Amino acid sequence: MAKICISAFVAGKVQGVWFRKSTMDEALSYGLTGWVRNLSDGRVQVMLCGESNAVRQVEAWLQIGPALANVAQVISESLPYDESFNGFVMRGDEREC
């Protein structure tokens, strides 16, 4: 099976609604690696890597997000597979990095 990564930016009401934790849970349930973090402009950034179909399933879930979220837009781009990620983690806010 082909492996890919995507980088996604999720806009809308996506901070303070358990978006990062829910994204991590979704990614781990599909066996994906990568990370999720809040951005200072109110968006959430996600890096998902793994089997192509699983990545696309979680990418589709990003359009909906957790119950309290109100997703306005998801912009994603496909990237070459990166095997350097170990597991899936929630990173701190962009401004904390």
Provide the annotated active-site residues: 20, 38
Contact between residue 45 and residue 37 where contact means Cβ atoms under 8 Å apart: yes
Which of 9, 87, 88, 3 lies closest to 53 in space, CA to CA? 3
Q: Which two tokens stand for residue 13?
A: 């009401």
Structure tokens that stand for 73 in this block: 């837009």
Q: What residues are paired with 46 via a beta bridge? A: 8, 36
